[in-house]
């Protein structure tokens, strides 16, 4: 059954968090998708538009109220899951009965290696699911309509992949790649225990080793490009509400030139509607001009054999909600930019 004016029916699970709020806001302007259900266990029964601060300027509030996941009924063309990592596997078989596709922004179905799942996503192993899942990067992956769960990359992982993909795809680097990813506070979600006093007017290391996005990046490059990359991945906390800047340091192979690097990035990203590649001398990626948008800014800068590649994204949009909508557009054969072109970054 279609929604109003033939739009596809959409449900959002975990709608009271930051990503759920962004999904609801963005889908409110989508020409082909309509939100018919939003879940929140803690806000069940409360009017959705009264809860979302971003809805305060709406001329006409929706009658939609938060419901519990157990109350999910009927069929939805797309269910967007923003549940905390580890929660979707517990209910996946019940939810899948109501969905054509589940677009998941948490980490549960990003990895197939059982050892990595056991370490970082143990709930995925505890709850078998026969519907199949697919790790999907809109710019690099092929649509696979035989699976039920379309799992989107982590926000820092996808930013890192944007810095590395052209270099690895064109076989331009050797040795270890080192990435430091700087992230805004909303990346920790509403349940973060980090106090404002720790983060404000500060810049500090969050996790220097062992972050679960490292094996995700390594696995993604292996799956998509059949290349093995030794990655050092460290995360730092920014005094910003949102935004990510990933910086990756690599060594070019002997004889590789700056022109070859430039060509690799340009050929990889020139046809991608949400990726803006900075040519040398034309500026560099920054957080301020991508916040509030589904755009990623990417640049690569060479001195001798040393290459520094950068990517900036909004963690809640290009790293989560917007990326999930972009994926849904591609899965349903809608224009890739549908519902995502309205916002532009601000400067200065």
The model's confidence at residue 197, banded by pLDDT at 50, 70 and 90, is confident
What confidence tens digit (pLDDT) does each residue in 80-108 have?
999 999 999 999 999 999 999 999 999 99
Pair 294, 317: CB distance under 8 Å: yes
CA 123 from chain centre, in angstroms, equals 21
The model's confidence at residue 196, banded by pLDDT at 50, 70 and 90, is confident
Phi, psi of 254 (to 5 degrees): -55, 130
Q: Name the token pair of 32.
A: 């082909």
pLDDT(9) > 90: yes
pLDDT of residue 6: 84
pLDDT(13) > 80: yes
C-alpha span between 344 and 275 (Å, rounded):
13
What confidence tens digit (pLDDT) does each residue in 114-163 have?
999 999 999 999 999 999 999 999 999 999 999 999 999 999 999 999 99
Q: Which of 32-46, 189-203, 298-312 has the lowest mean pLDDT?
A: 189-203
C-alpha span between 314 and 169 (Å, rounded):
25
Query: Domain residue spans in the chain?
Result: 4-152+320-331, 155-313
* Residue 307 annotated to the active site: no
Pair 173, 167: CB distance under 8 Å: yes
The CATH H-level superfamily of 4-152+320-331 is NAD(P)-binding Rossmann-like Domain (3.40.50.720)
In degrees, rounded to 5, the angle at the alpha carbon of residue 116 between the alpha carbons of residues 132 and 219 is 75
120: helix, strand or coil: helix
From 155, 229, 298, 330, active-site residue:
155
Q: What percentage of the chain carries pLDDT values higher than 90?
A: 82
Query: Tokens 């056991």, residue?
Result: 118
155-313, what's its fold?
Dihydrodipicolinate Reductase; domain 2 (3.30.360)
pLDDT of residue 193: 65
pLDDT of residue 200: 82
What confidence tens digit (pLDDT) does each residue in 213-243 have?
999 999 999 999 999 999 999 999 999 999 9
What confidence tens digit (pLDDT) does each residue in 166-175 have?
999 999 999 9
pLDDT of residue 1: 47
Q: Which of 238, 243, 221, 136 is nearest to 177 (CA)?
A: 221
pLDDT(62) > 90: no
b or e along 7-44 (b: 16 or more beta carbons within 10 Å of the residue's beta carbon)? Answer: bbbbbbbbbbbbbbbbbbebbbebebbbbbbbbbeebe
């Amino acid at each position: 059954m279609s929604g109003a004016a033939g739009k596809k029916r959409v449900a959002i699970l975990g709608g009271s968090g930051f990503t759920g709020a962004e999904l609801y806001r963005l889908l409110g302007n989508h020409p082909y998708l309509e939100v018919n259900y939003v879940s929140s266990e803690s806000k069940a029964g409360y009017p959705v538009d009264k809860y979302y601060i971003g809805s305060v300027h709406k001329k006409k509030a929706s009658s939609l109220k938060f419901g519990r996941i157990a109350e999910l009924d009927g069929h939805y063309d797309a269910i967007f899951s923003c549940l905390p990592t580890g929660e979707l596997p517990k209910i996946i078989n019940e939810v899948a009965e109501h969905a054509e596709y589940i677009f998941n922004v948490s980490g549960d179905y990003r990895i197939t290696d059982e050892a990595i799942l056991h370490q970082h996503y143990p709930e995925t192993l505890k709850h078998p699911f026969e519907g199949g899942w697919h790790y999907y990067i809109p710019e690099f992956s092929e649509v696979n309509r035989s699976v039920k769960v379309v799992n989107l990359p982590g926000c820092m992982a996808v930013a890192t992949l944007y810095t590395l993909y052209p270099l690895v795809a064109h076989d331009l680097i050797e040795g270890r790649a080192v990435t430091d990813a700087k992230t805004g506070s909303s990346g920790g979600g509403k349940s973060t225990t980090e106090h404002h006093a720790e983060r404000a007017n500060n810049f500090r290391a969050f996790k220097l080793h062992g972050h679960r996005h490292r094996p995700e990046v390594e696995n993604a490059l292996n799956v998509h490009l059949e290349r093995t990359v030794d990655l050092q991945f460290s995360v730092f906390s920014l005094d910003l509400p949102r935004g990510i800047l990933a910086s990756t340091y690599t060594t070019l192979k002997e004889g590789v030139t700056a022109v070859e690097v430039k060509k690799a990035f340009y050929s990889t990203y020139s046809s991608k509607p949400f990726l803006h590649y900075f040519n040398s001398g034309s500026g560099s990626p920054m957080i301020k001009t991508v916040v509030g948008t589904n755009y990623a800014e990417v640049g690569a800068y060479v001195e001798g054999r040393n290459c520094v590649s950068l990517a900036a994204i909004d963690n809640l949009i290009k790293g989560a909600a917007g990326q999930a909508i972009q994926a849904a557009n591609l899965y349903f054969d809608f224009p890739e930019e549908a519902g995502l072109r309205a916002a532009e970054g601000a400067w200065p």
